[in-house]
Amino acid sequence: MLTFIFRRLLIATGLIFVISLISFFMITLAPGSPYPWGELNPKISPQVKEAFRKKFHLDRSLPEQYWLNMRDLFSGRLKSIKDERPVLERIGERLPATLMLNVYAICVSLVFGLVWGVWAAQRAGTWPDVVSSVASFALIALPGFWIAYLILIGLVKHASVPVLGTQSYGILFPNMLSMGLDRIWHIVLPGTILALGGIAVQSRFIRATVLEAMREDYIRTARAKGLPEESVFYKHALRNAIRPLITGIGSLLPALIGGSLIIETIFAYPGMGRLGYEAVLERDYPTLVAINFIAAALILLGNLLADILYAVVDPRVRLE
Amino acid sequence: MNTPTQDQPAVADSPVRRVLRDFFRKPIALISVFVIAVFCLTALITGLCALGGIYFPYDPNATDLANKLRPPSMAHWLGTDNLGRDVLTRMLNGSYVSLTVGFVAMTVSLLIGVVVGAVSGYFGGWIDNVLMRIVDALLCFPSFFLILTAVALLGPNIWIIIVVIGLLSWTGTSRLVRAEFLTLRETEYVRAARALGQRTPKIIFRHILPNAFAPIFVTAVVGIPEAILIEAGLSFINLGVQPPQATWGNIITDGKSYLLDAWWLIVFPGMAIFLAALAFYLAGDALREAADTRSERK
Amino acid sequence: MKNLLEIHDLSINFETREGTVHAVKNVSLSMQPGASLAIVGESGSGKSVTALSLTRLLPVPPAKYVSGDVFFEGQSIRRMNPDKLREVRGGGIAYIFQEPSTSLNPVYSIRSQIGEAIRLHRPEVTDVDAEIVRWLDAVGIVDPAKRMHDYPHQLSGGMQQRAMIAMALSCQPKLLVADEPTTALDVTIQAQILAELKRLRSEFGMGLILITHNFAIIRGLCERVAVMYRGEIVEYGETASILRSPQHPYTKALIACIPKLGSRSRRLQTIGEALPA
C-alpha cells in the first residue's frame, strides 16, 4: 500500500511540473501588455518602465523567467502586478471560501448521484427510468448561469431572500446558531446550483455500473447461494459499482472549479474563481500563473486522494 | 452460460442500417432530431440571409430607444432589449453563431482527439506514455478557466474562440479513441492485416477506424452541446463573441443588469441554449444505445 | 425412497429480440439420493438452462417456464415460496460454475464469501472460521488458514475452483450441480478437479449433476448420462452401456469425437451441423 502511494506521489510531482510549464508557457507567450499603463504613453519615463520590467523579471530570457516565477511562487514572494501584494496572500484570502463551496458541491454530487443512480438502476427499462434519464440530461444541458439567474429572480423578487455574498448584511443575528445557518445558506444555494450537472453525471455513471455489476457472474453465485435479493444487491453488486463515486472526486473537481467562477460572480461570492476572472481582465500575469497552478495542484491532490481511496475499496488495485 | 438454440434463421442486416433503424425506433430520438433540425435550419437560413444582408423580422442592430425593454407583445414576440432591439431577431441571429461555434469547435476537438488517441492506442510504448501524461496534466486544469485565460489573452474573436475551445476539449475523445484502438488492435483481422504486411496508415484507416466509428460519432454529437455551453459561458463573462453581433449568451449578459425587470431577456435565450443542448445530448444518447452491440437489452 | 430430484416434462422458452427460442423441450429426468448424472451436449443444447432452472436461477424475463416442473425431495420448485426456495438454494442444491475467476466476488475475501454461505445455511455453527478451514482443507487447498484471507484474484484458476467447491459443500447440500467446472481450466488441473469431485462424492455422499460438452470426462465419475441436443434429451441411461453402444446418431458422433490415443485415423472427428451459438 505504501509503495502504491509513493508511486502515485512521484507521478504527481512529475505532473505538477508539466502543469507549471503549461501555465507559464501560455501566459507569457500571449500578446497583450502586462503594464498597467498604455505602451506608448509618453508620460511614463523609460526609467520607470525599465524598473518595472526588472521588478517583474520581464527583461530576462523565458527559461529564466520561468525559474524566477516558480521560485517566487513557492517562496511567497511573487507579487501581483495590480497592487503589489504577494499573490499567495491574495489567493489565500479567497481560497477557503472556494474550497468550502466546491467541497460542498462534490459531496452533494456524490451523495445525490449515488441515490439517484441506484434508484434508476433498480427501475431500468421502465418509464420512470426513461423520464429520469431525460431529466439527467436536462440538468447537464442547463447553462449554470441561466438557472442561477432564474432562481435569483424568483428568490429575490418574489421572496426577498438574501442570496449574495457569504452572509447576509444588515441583519443582526440573535445567536451563533442562526448566524451559522445563515452562512450555511449562503454556501448551500450557489453550491447546489454548481452541483446540478455533477449530480446528473454521477447518477448516470452509477446507474451504468450498477447494471453492469448485476450482470456479472458473481451475482449469479450469490443468488445460487440462497442470499436474499437485498443482500445480493447492496452487499455484492453495489460494492463493485461505486467506482464512479471515487473517480468522480478526481473528475468533478476541474469542472467545478471552472464552474464556480461563474457562480461566484453571480452570487458575489468572494472566491478564487472571481479573483481569477478579475486577474484575466487586468492582465495580472503573476496572479494568473499562481491561480492556474494552485487550481491544477488542488485537482491533482484530489486525483491522488481518489486513487488512494480506490485502492482501499478494490483489493485488486492495492495488491498488485 | 449456453445460449439457447434458435428456430428462426437470422436476417442479414448491414450494421449501419440496423443502428439507424434502432435509433429511429425511439420516440426520444425522433423528437430530438426534429428539434435539432429546426435549430439547424433556422440557423442556416438566418445565416445565409445575413450574408446577403437580409434580416427578419427586424434589423438585429437597429436600436429603438423609445421602445426599449418592452415585454413580449404582438409587435415583438420575445420583447425588446435595453437598446430597443428586437429579441427574436437577435436570437435568430445568434443561433447561427452559437451553432457554428458548436459544430466547428467540436470538429477541431474531434480531429485532435482522434489523431492523438489513434497514435497512442495503436503504437503504444513510450509514445503512448508521453501522450497520456500530457493528457493527464491537461485534465488537471479547470478547462473552462484555461479557455477563458486563453481567450482573454488572445482576444475574443470568433475563430480564436472556436480554436481555443477545440484545443482544450479533446482530452476526453483521445482517451476514448485510445481505448478503442487498444482493443481493436488485438483483433484477428488487424493481426491478419499486419501479418500480410499491410502498411500502418492503411491498417488504421481501413480496418480500425471504421469499427471505432460508432463511439467516435457519438462523441461528436455530444461534443456539440458542450461547445455551445462553453461559448455561452464565455459570452456571459464578456469573453465570447463580441457585441454588436448577437449570440444567445450575450443577450443574457446584456440583460443581466435588468434582471429583475425584464425577465424575457434571460428566459428566452437561455431556453434556446438549454433546448438545443438537450436535444443534442438526447440524440447522442439514443445513438449510443442503438449502436451498443455489447450490452443486452433490458 | 423418495427421489432426490425429478424433472417432469420441463419446457423453457427465451423471448429474445429475434424471436422465441425453445431452449428446453419436454425434458424429464430423475435422480436418487447420492446418485451421479452427467448432462452432455454442445453449446446451445439447453444443458445449462436446465441446470439453472433447478432453483429458478434463470432471469424471468427473458426466460419463461412454459410447462413441466422440477421436484426436489418431492417439493415443487416452481410453486415453492421464495423463502423456502432460498433455503434450497445452497442448502439443498449447490452450484459450481464454469468460470471461477468471475464467479467469485472480487472485492470480498474467500473467508468472507464462504463464511456468508455457512452463516446463512448452518446458523448452528459457532466457529465459522474453523469450519472454513476444514472445508478448504477438504478440497485440497494447502495452508487453508492463511489462504482464506486471500482475495479471489490472488488464487490460481484451479484454487479458485476448489474454493468454489468448498463454498458449495460447506452448506452440506444434498445435490451439487457442476456446470462445466473444468472447461476454463488447464488440462492438468482439470484432471485434479475431477478427481477431487469424485473423492468428495464418495466421502460426503451428495448427489452430483455434471454438465459438460466433453464425453471423455464423465467416465468413472457419473453413473448415468443424459445427452441433450437442441433442447431435447436424445439419449438417457447408464454411462457404461451408452459408451459401449450408443443408440442415437448424435450420441455416436459425440463419442466418436473423443480423440483416442493410438488410433490410426489422421483426421479428428467433428460434428457436421453447426448449432447457432
pLDDT of B145 reads 78
Between A and C, how many residue pairs show a Cβ–Cβ distance under 8 A? 72
> B141: closest CA among A298, A124, C171, C191?
A298
pLDDT of B19 reads 78
A141 vs B: CB within 8 A: yes
pLDDT of B9 reads 44
Q: Are the C-beta atoms of residues B97 and B241 closer than 8 Å to each other?
A: yes
Among C16, C22, C45, whose Cβ lies nearest the Cβ of B2?
A: C45
Cell numbers for C249: 446418431
Q: Give CA–CA dist B104/B116, Å, rounded.
A: 18
End-to-end CA distance of chain B: 18
Residues B230-268, buried b or exposed e (16+ Cβ, 10 A)?
bbbbbbbbbbbbeeebbbbbbbbbbbeebbeebbbbbbb
Q: Give CA–CA dist B213/C102, Å, rounded.
A: 30
> C236: closest CA among C224, C220, C218, C250?
C224
Q: Cβ of C22 and B2 within 8 Å? A: no
Q: Is the pLDDT of residue B155 over 50?
A: yes
Q: Give CA–CA dist A211/B130, Å, rounded.
A: 35
Residue A227, min C-alpha distance to chain C (Å) = 7
Q: Cβ of A225 and C153 within 8 Å? A: no
Residue C87: list chain A partners with CB under 8 A.
226
Percent of chain A at pLDDT exceeding 70: 76
| Residue C197: half-sphere exposure toward Cβ, Cα within 13 Å | 33
Q: Find the residue in C nearest to B5 (Cα).
A: C44
Question: What angle is formed at CA B146 by the lines to CA B128 and CA A298, rounded to 5 degrees?
Answer: 75
> A117: closest CA among A242, A229, A218, A231?
A242
Q: Give CA–CA dist C104/C152, Å, rounded.
A: 7
B59 vs A: CB within 8 A: no
Among B146, B263, B298, whose Cβ lies nearest the Cβ of A153?
A: B263
Q: Compute how many other C-beta atoms are within 10 angstroms of the C-beta atom of residue A269.
A: 25
Q: Compute how many other C-beta atoms are within 10 angstroms of the C-beta atom of residue B186.
A: 9
Helix (DSSP H) and strand (DSSP E) numbers for chain C? 10, 10
pLDDT of C115 reads 94
Q: Is the pLDDT of residue A38 over 60?
A: no
In sequence order, what are the beta bridge partners of C63?
C14
Q: Which of A180-189, A310-319, C7-16 has the highest mean pLDDT?
A: C7-16
pLDDT of A51 reads 65
Residue B4: list chain C partners with CB under 8 A.
14, 16, 21-23, 44, 46, 49, 231
Q: Cβ of B274 and A150 within 8 Å? A: no
Alpha carbon C255 to its chain's center: 20
Percent of chain B at pLDDT exceeding 90: 13
- The residue of B3, B5, B11 whose CB has the most chain C CBs within 10 angstroms, and thus the best one to mutate to test that interface, is B5
Q: Is the pLDDT of residue B5 over 50?
A: no
What is the three-state SS of B75-99? CCCCCECCCCCEHHHHHHHHHHHHH
Q: Which of A190-194, B262-266, C216-220 has the highest mean pLDDT?
A: A190-194
**CB contact set of B229 (below 8 Å; sequence gap of 6+):** A141, A143, B273, B277
Q: Cβ of B153 and A150 within 8 Å? A: no
**CB contact set of B29 (below 8 Å; sequence gap of 6+):** B23, B282, B283, B286, B287, B290
- Mean pLDDT in chain B? 80
- The residue of C55, C103, C122 whose CB has the most chain A CBs within 10 angstroms, and thus the best one to mutate to test that interface, is C103
Residue C275: list chain B partners with CB under 8 A.
5
Place B297 in a pLDDT band, splitting at 50, 70 and 90. very low
Residue C19: list chain B partners with CB under 8 A.
6-8
Residue A200: list chain B partners with CB under 8 A.
none
Q: Cβ of B140 and A137 within 8 Å? A: no
Q: Are the C-beta atoms of residues C218 and C181 closer than 8 Å to each other?
A: no
CATH assignment of C1-92+175-258+267-277, given 3.40.50.300, 3.40.190.10, 1.20.140.10, 3.10.129.10? 3.40.50.300
Is beta strand C93-96 parallel, antiparallel or unpaired with respect to C175-179?
A: parallel
Q: Cβ of A224 and C57 within 8 Å? A: yes
3-state helix, strand, coil in chain C (%, to 5): 35, 25, 40
C-alpha distances in angstroms, B91 versus A229, B85, C271?
53, 11, 69
Q: Find the residue in A nearest to B151 (Cα).
A: A280
Per the listing, cell 451421479 goes with C36
Residue C123: list chain A partners with CB under 8 A.
none
Among C102, C109, C171, whose Cβ lies nearest the Cβ of A216?
A: C102
Q: Compute how many other C-beta atoms are within 10 angstroms of the C-beta atom of residue B190.
A: 19
C-alpha distances in angstroms, B137 versus A98, B165, B171, B182?
22, 17, 10, 21
Q: Give CA–CA dist A275/A267, Å, rounded.
A: 14
Place C109 in a pLDDT band, splitting at 50, 70 and 90. very high
Spell out the domain ranges in chain B: 24-60+73-296
B17 vs A: CB within 8 A: no
pLDDT of A319 reads 66
- Average pLDDT (C24-31) is 91
Q: Give CA–CA dist A218/C106, Å, rounded.
A: 8
Those residues of chain C whose CB sits closer than 8 Å to some CB in chain B are 14, 16-23, 43-49, 52, 230-231, 275-277
C-alpha distances in angstroms, C222 versus B268, C30, C38?
76, 14, 6
Among A133, A150, A256, whose Cβ lies nearest the Cβ of B266?
A: A150
Percent of chain C at pLDDT exceeding 70: 93
- Average pLDDT (B151-164) is 81
Q: Cβ of A240 and C105 within 8 Å? A: yes
Coil, strand, or helix at residue B150?
helix
pLDDT of B296 reads 41
Cell numbers for A103: 467541497
The amino acid sitting at C45 is S
Helix H segments across A34-175?
46-55, 62-75, 87-122, 127-141, 144-152, 159
Q: Which of A24-28, A101-105, B260-264 has the highest mean pLDDT?
A: A101-105
Place A16 in a pLDDT band, splitting at 50, 70 and 90. confident
Higher-pLDDT residue of C266, C235: C235
C-alpha distances in angstroms, B221 versus B228, B274, B277?
12, 16, 10
The model's pLDDT over C136-146, given as tens digits with 9 standing for 90+, comes to: 998 889 999 99
A223 vs C: CB within 8 A: yes
Backbone angles phi, psi at C64, to 5 degrees: -145, 125
Q: Cβ of C167 and A225 within 8 Å? A: yes
In this structure, of A70-84, A123-137, C228-242, the range with the lowest mean pLDDT score is A70-84
Q: Compute how many other C-beta atoms are within 10 angstroms of the C-beta atom of residue A60.
A: 14
A186 vs C: CB within 8 A: no
Domain B24-60+73-296: CATH superfamily is MetI-like (1.10.3720.10)
Q: Where are the beta strands (DSSP E) in C140-212?
A: 175-179, 207-212
A37 vs C: CB within 8 A: no
**CB contact set of A262 (below 8 Å; sequence gap of 6+):** A144, A145, A148, A273, B233, B236, B237
Cell numbers for A192: 447546489
**CB contact set of B121 (below 8 Å; sequence gap of 6+):** B128, B177, B178, B179, B180, B181, B182, B185
- Average pLDDT (A293-298) is 81
Q: Compute how many other C-beta atoms are within 10 angstroms of the C-beta atom of residue A110.
A: 22
Higher-pLDDT residue of B208, B30: B30
Backbone angles phi, psi at A160, to 5 degrees: 50, 45
Instruction: Say what the ipTM of the complex is.
Output: 0.87
Q: Residue A274: which H helix or E strand, with range? A: helix A272-282
Burial class, A17, CB count within 10 angstroms (exposed 0-12 / middle 13-18 / buried 19+): exposed
Place B1 in a pLDDT band, splitting at 50, 70 and 90. very low
CA-only gyration radius of chain A, Å: 24
**CB contact set of B11 (below 8 Å; sequence gap of 6+):** C18
Cell numbers for C263: 488410433
Residue B7: list chain C partners with CB under 8 A.
19-22
The model's pLDDT over B21-46, given as tens digits with 9 standing for 90+, comes to: 888 888 888 899 999 999 999 888 88
Those residues of chain B whose CB sits closer than 8 Å to some CB in chain C are 1-8, 10-11, 297
Q: Which of A172-186, A286-300, B34-48 has the highest mean pLDDT?
A: B34-48
In sequence order, what are the beta bridge partners of C208?
C36, C176
Q: Which chains have 3 or more CB–CB distances shorter than 8 Å to chain B?
A: A, C
**CB contact set of B85 (below 8 Å; sequence gap of 6+):** B58, B60, B61, B62, B63, B64
| Residue B53: half-sphere exposure toward Cβ, Cα within 13 Å | 0
- Mean pLDDT in chain A? 80
Q: Give CA–CA dist B83/B243, Å, rounded.
A: 12
Q: Cβ of B153 and A26 within 8 Å? A: yes
Q: Give CA–CA dist A3/A319, Å, rounded.
A: 10
> B172: closest CA among B214, B212, B223?
B223
Residue B143: list chain A partners with CB under 8 A.
254-255, 258
The model's pLDDT over A205-249, given as tens digits with 9 standing for 90+, comes to: 999 999 999 999 999 999 999 999 999 999 999 988 888 888 888
